[in-house]
Amino acid sequence: FGGRPVPKVLFSAKKDSQHIFSEGEITFALIGLGKERNYKSIQTSFRRLTAKQADLFGQKVLLYAPDFGDYDLLEAALTGLILGTYR
């Protein structure tokens, strides 16, 4: 991550797993999507993250998704981020 590997002890990338950590003023959230990736499961994972960790999300969010490979799945992630912030 950021050129450095993330130890599996900290983050396994299994479905619904999360690992949140800070480095300086930046907070990183790793989200496990599992092997089966579909629109609904990705949207739900990202919605849960923003709903549970709302205090981490200010006005700026950067989504780093190097291997989504499908714009529909990227749309699902963005939609989930937005839906999770509704109160």
The CA distance from 43 to 84, in Å, is 9
Ranges of beta strands (E only) in the chain are 18-23, 26-31
pLDDT confidence of residue 59:
67
Which residues in the chain show pLDDT less than 70?
A: 1-12, 58-59, 66, 68
* 3-state SS class at 29: strand
Q: Please name every residue paired with 29 in a beta bridge, in sequence order, or none if there are none.
A: 20
pLDDT confidence of residue 22:
78
* 3-state SS class at 17: coil
